[in-house]
Amino acid sequence: MNLAELNTIANRMVARGRGILAADESTGTIAKRFDKIGVENTEPNRRDYRELLFRCAEGMKHISGVILYDETIRQKSADGNGTPLVKLIENAGAVPGIKVDKGAQKMALDPDQTVTEGLDGLRDRLVEYHKLGARFAKWRATYNPTKPSWNSINANAHALARYAALCQENGIVPIVEPEVLMDYDNDIDTCASITEWVLKEVFQELYYAQVKLEGIVLKPNMIVPGMKAAKQASVEEVADRTIQVLKRCVPSAVPGIAFLSGGQSDEDATAHLSAMNARHKLPWHLTFSYGRALQAAPQKAWSGKKENVPAAQNAFAHRARMNGLAAMGEWNKGLEKAA
């Protein structure tokens, strides 16, 4: 393992004022997004949509890395020159990455929880993805905080650690993504206590697997009440509770933490990140690795129409810029209105 190289990549992924675009929706997940905007889920449509993002110079200024899906890392641009989409990302100064997990499956005898699969054959797939240009990878585990089970927390932590070790062995920085879901009616205390438990287990397993923390990026959820909770939380409370849990669990050897948006509104995801950076002195870089919170606006603006590409790129550039500012603690609501 070349730890200096991994550390350099990890630091690029969390460089000041930039963050990660999670464009790694599986074919099934992008179908749900396209459904909402009335776009047929075909290979050329998926390519055209993602190409418009990667070619958006104004947006990509704030993007340090892009997480791709298996199809996208092999796709060529529609420019007639056969330019790989990976090349567009590199030309924009961002690091290409790849989702390598095979999704969360129902846990046997524990139907309220899932375990993420995809370890079989992973070493060979990582070798191939590295050749295709990937320098980081992503593996996501999910947890239902209303029905916690040690078995699922332990199984997912173990899988994340085995994945992370395989990545580092092959010169790829693992994004370690344990996501306590915000889909339920639990309060913010429950999210905090389950996230703390999950992170403790994850870092323990990373240690046993000999994963070097200088060569990973953590992608956690923020500490929020469930979407169906009776009481929601203020921006400051989310920021302070999230930092409290992270400080308890994440060693300062980790170069950076890049949050998922998890179903928060675009503006909430930005406001929370900015408040964390503005209100706290932190041992790691704190940034975004958003899927929905970066893409909902451009998807709506695009709606599958060629003539809407400039509007979609403007929408993407705006969200990328807002989140870039949030990563420095410099965002405020007025900037949204001004735009």
- Binding residues for ligand 13P, rule: CB under 6 A, are 22, 140, 177, 260-262, 290-293
Q: Which is nearer to ligand 13P, 30 or 245 (CB)?
A: 30
Nearest to ligand 13P of 197, 290 (CB atom): 290
312 in Cβ contact with 52 (< 8 Å): yes
Burial grade of 36 (CB within 10 A; 0-12, 13-18, 19 or more): exposed
Q: Cβ 290 to ligand 13P, closest distance in Å?
A: 4
**CA dist list (Å): 78 to 221, 297, 307:** 35, 23, 16
CB nearer ligand 13P, residue 36 or residue 305: 36
Instruction: Report residue 97: phi and psi, to 5°.
Output: -135, 175
219 part of the active site: yes
Of all residues in the shown chain, the one whose CB is closest to ligand 13P is 291
H or E stretch at 110: strand 110-116
Helix (H) or strand (E) holding 34: helix 27-36
Would you mind telling me the total number of residues written for the chain in this entry?
Answer: 339
The catalytically annotated residue of 32, 61, 212, 219 is 219
Q: Which of 39/260 has CB closer to ligand 13P?
A: 260
Q: CB 153 → ligand 13P: shortest distance, Å?
A: 18
Residue 3: Cβ-neighbour burial (10 angstroms; 0-12, 13-18, 19+): exposed
Helix or strand run (H / E) with residue 220:
none
CB of 78 to ligand 13P, least distance (A): 25
Q: How far is the CB of 299 from ligand 13P (least distance, A)?
A: 12
Catalytic residues: 219
